[in-house]
Structure 1
């Protein structure tokens, strides 16, 4: 027995439903954005989880560290699916943690902690989860895309655009710190 679900009016299904309801995504589906040299695919947003968490993938080639930043009230995770990424985290007391994460490795950034990361191998893919959801930041700071490919050329927003969108998502970028150099 199979079940089929039909949308009234023959409307095209959006990648994410925008409300807490069961759904499935096939490989590569989701809300895609290009930001810097990365393809970010949102699989689940705060809209589908009543504000509790979001889930996304971050695919990128070896490159520069993203700008150091913090999320006021969002916890973030890094789970390496392929490749490698070096993550730096500074806790509330100023102690810095650094780790090269490889496939299967996991990292956790508590809310309020400064952090950054640098992709260390081409074909790196990271699964990220965040509490409270900031996942729509990527599409607003970058550019939305239907392409499942990495951006060519990279999409580099201005510091002003990045800072404005960050404020809207209760984040702060520290362009003066590279990477967490104190």
Structure 2
């Protein structure tokens, strides 16, 4: 069955299917159960004249995407809840709510959820890669992602035809040096929250070139 046929059930659903203005009420996004993750589809290629797709992705601890790249799209992640290890090109970090990750087109990347659960936005430019997730999964009424004991074998490793059709390419895995957790995205500063109490605002850590003093401080991470 082709991907357009799989979307046919949504022709009269909450998404317009053309480049029309729309408002998607909370909880009404179509959902896909795929690759041990729950995808809430906020915008598809066909809803934005191909400009972009926007998904909300949720998963339990251990849900992950192995090192891979796809040649046609750039991606961006914005973490809403939980924690996840993110690897992009030669960067490896532990991301927290509020952190933003940009993945240029054809760039090796991977992620793994490390908290009990996590939720993040995934922006895809140009749109269309949502079809990959649907081809490897199915539309669902579930509102919660799979628990770890329900995890299935990653379908991406079993459907080379789907991967090739969407320019999804498996890449060499990232290798973490034992005992080296990597520098987190979170900033050490603790700004005041609106109510005046001390808090921590997640900010993107901009990596600096290692110096002689920091090159062997145990915080680094090896990638191959």
SS at match of 2:32: strand
Q: Give 1:3-22 correspondences, 5 Å limit.
A: 13-22=12-21
Which runs of structure 1 show a deviation greater than 4 angstroms over 4 or more consecutive aligned residues? none
Question: Per the alignment, do residues 12 and 70 of structure 1 end up closer, same or farther by CA in structure 2, a change over 3 Å counting?
Answer: closer
Matched residues in 1 for 2:141 and 2:167: separation?
Answer: 27
* Larger RCO of the pair (alpha carbons < 8 Å, separation 6+): 1
Contact 1:66 1:116 in 2 (8 A): yes
Alignment partner, residue 43 of structure 2: 44
Deviation at 1:122, TM superposition (A): 1.8
Matched residues in 1 for 2:29 and 2:151: separation?
Answer: 20
SS at match of 1:23: coil
- Render the CA deviation track for 1:147-176: whole Å, top value 9, x for unaligned: 212135234326231x322222222123xx
Matched residues in 2 for 1:169 and 1:12: separation?
Answer: 23
Question: Per the alignment, do residues 19 and 179 of structure 1 end up closer, same or farther by CA in structure 2, a change over 3 Å counting?
Answer: same
TM-score (norm 1): 0.81
Say yes or no: does 1:140 pair with 2:135.
yes
SS at match of 2:139: strand
Match of 2:96 among 102, 114, 138: 102
Alignment partner, residue 167 of structure 1: 164
Question: Per the alignment, do residues 51 and 105 of structure 1 end up closer, same or farther by CA in structure 2, a change over 3 Å counting?
Answer: same
Higher strand proportion, which one?
1
Contact 1:35 1:155 in 2 (8 A): no
Structure with greater Cα Rg: 2
Alignment partner, residue 105 of structure 2: 111
- Render the CA deviation track for 1:114-161: whole Å, top value 9, x for unaligned: 110011112310101010121221111122212212135234326231
Alignment partner, residue 118 of structure 2: 124
| Structure 1: stretches of 5+ with no match in the other structure | 1-10, 91-95
TM-score (norm 2): 0.67
Match of 2:144 among 132, 149, 154: 149
CA RMSD of aligned residues (A): 2.0
Higher alpha-carbon deviation: 66-75 or 111-120? 66-75
